Structure 1
């Protein structure tokens, strides 16, 4: 079986969870990075016999809009799809049902869904170190169940949780800014999924284009991009109550 892993993973947590799941499947794997603003996603083509693992983070209970736009360009030709939503130990709300609708609109046939936990991209003390060894074992077990379903020729659609209409999308308003340590190397601008950073002047950020994905913070070799400490402290306080207890991964088959 040929497997295509399509992931939108600005800080690496979503890709890590998707990799753990996909590596437990039997098949040849190719990866597609939906964060790459320079890629031609219309050049990606699957066949009806292929399996796609489509992995996105949950941003405030929704799918990042840019991930949906890029997914819609893929030629899926009726390929089966496993949806994976990765969240920072709070909740994934309407993310998976929105991803289901986007995958179906693109022409995929949804056969399973996975909700996985990874380190929170903004408040990194929540779900720190996840996915961990326990998650790895659980995701491998999920992969085995999906493989068993497909091998038995069962292609029924799972009951995906979420609401239609989806909850209102809202930006976090948390835009990382350069500090005095910025060397203007341009790696942040090169890596930004939505080109919100000026490559000619990386200290200039389009706050309206920024999706608060924290990729620039994650890739900066100088640790020179930071959030407003007051806003970060407020976010930490807000999330502490809902993120402190360990959430478990879920399979929808």
Structure 2
């Protein structure tokens, strides 16, 4: 094989690889395109958001439980009908209060530990804003806190809590585990969750929103094609030597 022929094969294979990387990823019926152009950071290829409900904590050791639903995947607008056609992506979570630090005047910081998040894909959509309907379906992704959830708020521990926080997460299981186990965030973690909360949820719960961001791993086909492209270059160089 001469150099030009090897170069052509290598470029063709790499072109196929890039094309494959640009294609949508489908895991358990949940679809997203890593190359979508949106407002999320250009250094990352995955952005999602939605809403949540949770109880409030008062004393260290109190357990907060919550649930919610995703409504955006790599989009600037609600696109649930396209990223989860005929299904819904919901989640439940738990975490334990470490401490509130009161600065006075009703403001302070908070810290939670042992966060666990279970994300479910349900092909019989019936979420109605309850814990029970948020935990139905197949486990799509399971996440554990790589750090503690920390943030700032007001009226903490009163039931009128308002604030924002963030945490780094590790992938520990689920159908999409291999797509998000990247170790590309700080400390080798996989994803970043930022969330907000305020009064106004049903039955005395707090309500809020969240963003889950990070990177997703290309499909095995695209990785194999990239390898084929590199082998083409190597073969051409060897035979030309």
Q: TM-score range by the shorter chain?
A: under 0.3
* Superposition TM-score, scaled by structure 1 size: 0.21
- Structure (1 or 2) with the greater helix fraction: 1
